Amino acid sequence: MKILGLELVPLNLPLQKRLQTLGVLHYTYSFLFLGFLTFFIFLYLLLFTNYYFIPLAYYAWYYYDRSVSEKGGRRSDWVRRWRLFKWSAEYFPLELVKTCDLPPSKNYILACHPHGIMCQSHFINFASEATGFSNKFPGIKPYLTVLSSLFMYPLFREYFLLSGSIQASRASIDWVLSKEGSGNALALIIGGAKEALEARSGNFQLRLKQRKGFCKRALMHGASLVPVYAFGENDLYSQVPNPEGSKVRMFQDFLTRILGFSPPMFYGRGFLNYTFGLLPYQKPVYTVVGAPIDVSKMEEPSDEQIDHLHGRYCKALVDLFENHKLKYGLTESDHLVFH
């Protein structure tokens, strides 16, 4: 049924479908608004109420606990197994596809592509157990690395810490790969903020040519590199046209430099309608975890060694994409492009 051009969600939608929508609404709105909401609530309590001691006590705790996001985090298996995450995975649906074993005697860097608008599949796959990571890779502990700024907001930081997420920083990566023993898998979203501005259906361009820091870290710690590609991640939202050189893109690039994260102008469907809103489209995403590239440890790798590993990685990623693209709805003419 349509009203004012909006295609409304049927009233007789099965309960399970509504729960799935609730699950993806939880992730989407938490990602977009929870940090700002908690910040302003704490600011209000501090300045305009008699409950100022609550934010003061929290910020004292925050100061004491501020480094934990760079020292392995503080995961909770109970939080990672919330039904909300399971419902979110079922909404699309999301599927984590294993191609080979990851022996727990080693550490790994899972290099994830593409970034997408909100990294929906990467968060659900690696910061929760909704798609069965621990069952598929027994003995491996995943750590999703996210922007450092996300750990600045009160309570919001606890949400990410309890999911097993840590800061995307050199210190954080070095800690997990050197001080947490073996069987750790760092999920790094390689393309970063810039790649989010290019997340649209049919786009297979990845920002990878100049992204070599993850290769250096792999060499320094002898961590195996694992290519990961999420087929369908770029299909979850529509984005306002923003080609390079356009006024929209220049404004977005300016904000990215100032804020540290990109502000894509996107839209999807709504909670009560299928036409327009902030929820992602209900399209399947298949995240394929490739074979590990074994890496010999070198405390001070040279530029040539880093470039060589980067070349091996790029080839492995292309092979992964080409070997699975037809299975997941792409065509022979679809190819990865690195820039």
The model's pLDDT over 98-114, given as tens digits with 9 standing for 90+, comes to 999 999 999 999 999 99
Pairing mode, if any, of strands 166-167 and 141-146? Answer: parallel
Q: In the predicted model, is pLDDT for residue 2 greater than 90?
A: no
> Is there a contact between 143 and 164 (Cβ–Cβ < 8 Å)?
yes
Q: Is 42 helix (H, G, I), strand (E, B) or coil?
A: helix
Question: What is the phi/psi pair of residue 63, to 5°?
Answer: -60, -45
Q: In the predicted model, is pLDDT for residue 156 greater than 80?
A: yes
| Mean pLDDT value of segment 200-220 | 96
Residues 193, 48: Cα–Cα separation, whole Å: 36
Residues 205, 120: Cα–Cα separation, whole Å: 18
Q: In the predicted model, is pLDDT for residue 322 greater than 70?
A: yes
Q: Higher pLDDT residue, 272 or 178?
A: 178
Which residue type occupies 63? Answer: Y
Q: Higher pLDDT residue, 145 or 6?
A: 145
Residues 154, 310: Cα–Cα separation, whole Å: 38
| Domain residue ranges of the chain, discontinuous segments joined by + | 10-234+284-338
pTM over 0.85: yes
pLDDT of residue 274: 86
The C-alpha angle 91, 92, 97, rounded to 5 degrees, equals: 120
Residues 192, 20: Cα–Cα separation, whole Å: 28
pLDDT band per the 50, 70, 90 thresholds, residue 300: very high
Q: What is the pLDDT of residues 52-98, one digit of tens each?
A: 999 999 999 999 999 999 999 999 999 999 999 999 999 999 999 99
Q: Higher pLDDT residue, 251 or 54?
A: 54
pLDDT band per the 50, 70, 90 thresholds, residue 244: confident
The C-alpha angle 168, 185, 161, rounded to 5 degrees, equals: 50
> Is there a contact between 303 and 216 (Cβ–Cβ < 8 Å)?
no
Q: In the predicted model, is pLDDT for residue 260 greater than 80?
A: no
pLDDT of residue 192: 85
End-to-end CA distance of the chain: 44
pLDDT band per the 50, 70, 90 thresholds, residue 1: low
Which residue type occupies 331? Answer: T
pLDDT band per the 50, 70, 90 thresholds, residue 45: very high
Distances in Å between the alpha carbon of 19 and those of 96, 100, 222? 21, 33, 43
Q: In the predicted model, is pLDDT for residue 134 greater than 80?
A: yes
Q: Higher pLDDT residue, 269 or 11?
A: 269
Q: In the predicted model, is pLDDT for residue 262 greater than 80?
A: no
Q: In the predicted model, is pLDDT for residue 4 greater than 70?
A: no
